[in-house]
Amino acid sequence: MEKICDSNKCTGCLACMNACPKEAISISYDINGLMLPKIDQEKCVNCGLCTRTCPVNITVEKKAPLKAYAAWNLDDKKHALSSSGGLARAMYDYAIDNGGVCYGTRFDENLDLRIVRADKREEIEEFQSSKYVQAIVGDSFKQAEDDLKMGLLVVYVGTPCQIAGLKNYLKKDYDNLITADLICHGVPSIKYLHEHVEHLEKKIGKKADNVKFRGVYNFKMSLFNKGELIYCKDRWQDTYFTGFLESLFYRPNCYECSYACPERVSDITLGDFWGIGKEKTFNSPKVNGVSVVLPLTEKGLDFIEKMKDKLYLEERSVSEAVNGNDQLNRPSRLHANTSRFIEMYHENGFEKAAFESIKEDMKKNQAKKRKSDRLHLQAKVKWKIVNTFRKITGRGVK
C-alpha cells in the first residue's frame, strides 16, 4: 500500500494504525511537524484495511443535535479546574463510579499529549482542561474495543476526527460506548509546542513537566514543574497561545474541516457556550465556565439524564448554541501569514517564525485586553460601592 489518503486531508486520527493486522503502520512527522501514518512496505500485505478504515475515505454518519443545554459541574473544585463547565469531568466520574473506564488526554513525561485509558478516579485529574495541541491516539482504539467486548461502560472523549476514526475502527455501535467530541478550532503539531516549551525552559532555567492553557490560570500559557508554577503568561503575550487562537499553524485539513458544522459524529458534543444570552436572557450566577452540551443521539441524551444530579442543566435553543460558536458553523480560517510562518519555520525554527508572523496580532489583542480589563475593573468598583451603600442604608439603589 503506497498511501492511505492524501496527506493534506489526513487528520492524524491513526485509525489506520490501530486497524492494521500486521502492525505495519507507525507514526512519522513530516518537515512541517505534521503527524502522519508511515507504512512499512516489508510488513504490509496490501489487505486494504487501512484505507477502508480511514474517515477521509469512508465518511462517518453525522447527526443533528436533539437539544442544547447550558451546563456546569456542581462540584465547584472540579468546575474551577476545567476549561468551561466541567462536563467531561462529570462524564469521567460517572464512568468510574459505575465500574467503567474512560479515555481522555494527558501529557506524558516527554510532554507528548496522549489519549490514555483510566479506570481510577486519581487517573482522570489530568484529563481536565483543554490542551491546545494534537493528541496522539496511540493504540487507544484497540484498548477501547477490548473494554467494550468485556461489557464495560466506556466513555471516550476526543476531537471529532478522532471520534470518527474510533467509529470506523470499531465498525459497529456498542450500547456501552459513549462518545463525546470537543468543539475544535484546529490542532497544531506537538513539535511546535515542544520547541516553544524548550525556548521558555532556557529563559527561566527550569524544566517543565506539565502544560496548561485553561482552568485556574484561565487563558494563560502555564508551565509547571512538580506542581510548581514556573511560567504564566496571558494568551496574547505568548507566541504559541496567540498563534493557536489566531489560527496560524493548524494541520492543513483543519482549515477544511468537515466536522465544523452543527451535525456531529458523536453521542454528545461539548464546548464553551459562547454567545449565551444573545437570543434569550440567561439569568445565572455563573459568569464564567458555562459549557454547551449538545446530545446527538438518544443514547447521549439518556447519559446526560443519568448525570443530572451532578450538573446544573438549563435547556437552551439549538440555534443559540450554534450561532454563538464559529466552529459549529465553519472551519477556522487560514491566517494571512501561515505560508510565511512555514517558510520561516524551516529556516529559523518555531519561536522566530511564530513571533514574526503574529507580532501585530499580539499588539492588537493586548490593547483590546487592557481596555477590557479597565472596563471590568470599573464595573467591579461600581458594584462594590453599590453593595456597600445597600448594606449601610438597607436600601436598594438603581
User: Is residue 376 predicted with pLDDT exceeding 90?
Assistant: no
User: Is residue 388 predicted with pLDDT exceeding 80?
Assistant: no
Buried b (16+ CB within 10 A) or exposed e, 301-312: eebbeebeebbb
Region 82-101: what's the mean pLDDT? 93
Q: How far apart are CA 392 and CA 169, in angstroms?
A: 66
Note the pLDDT of residue 288.
Answer: 62
Sequence-ordered list of residues with C-beta below 8 angstroms from that of 280, at least 6 positions apart, any chain = 316, 317, 320
Note the pLDDT of residue 367.
Answer: 87
Note the pLDDT of residue 398.
Answer: 41
Region 48-56: what's the mean pLDDT? 97
Q: How confident is the model at residue 397 (pLDDT cuts 50, 70, 90)?
A: very low
Region 286-304: what's the mean pLDDT? 90
pLDDT tens string 94-150: 999 999 999 999 999 999 999 999 999 999 988 988 899 999 999 999 999 999 999
Give 60 or 386, the one with higher predicted confidence.
60
The three-state secondary structure class of 395 is coil
Q: What angle do CA 332, 170, 261 make, to 5 degrees?
A: 20
Note the pLDDT of residue 289.
Answer: 83
pLDDT tens string 163-211: 999 999 999 999 999 999 999 999 999 999 999 999 999 999 999 999 9
Q: What secondary structure does DSSP assign to 184-211, as a single string? A: ----B-HHHHHHHHHHHHHHHT---SEE
Between the alpha carbon of residue 83 and those of residues 80, 120, 348, the distances in Å are 8, 21, 33
Note the pLDDT of residue 41.
Answer: 95
User: Is residue 368 predicted with pLDDT exceeding 50?
Assistant: yes
243-257, 267-281, 285-299, 360-374 — most confident range: 243-257
Note the pLDDT of residue 82.
Answer: 79
Question: Lowest-pLDDT range, 4-18, 141-155, 309-323, 366-380?
Answer: 366-380
Torsion angle, alpha carbons of 254, 258, 261, 267, to 10:
-100
Note the pLDDT of residue 395.
Answer: 55
Model pTM score: 0.91
Q: How confident is the model at residue 394 (pLDDT cuts 50, 70, 90)?
A: low
Give 383 or 124, the one with higher predicted confidence.
124
Q: How far apart are CA 260 and CA 383, in angstroms?
A: 40
User: Is residue 379 predicted with pLDDT exceeding 80?
Assistant: no
Half-sphere exposure of 395 (CA within 13 A, CB side): 3
Q: How confident is the model at residue 286 (pLDDT cuts 50, 70, 90)?
A: low
C-alpha cell at 147: 473494554
Region 250-271: what's the mean pLDDT? 97
Note the pLDDT of residue 319.
Answer: 96
Q: How far apart are CA 70 and CA 120, in angstroms?
A: 28
User: Is residue 218 predicted with pLDDT exceeding 90?
Assistant: no
Phi, psi (deg, nearest 5) at residue 343 = -60, -45
User: Is residue 377 predicted with pLDDT exceeding 80?
Assistant: no
pLDDT tens string 222-248: 999 999 999 999 999 999 999 999 999
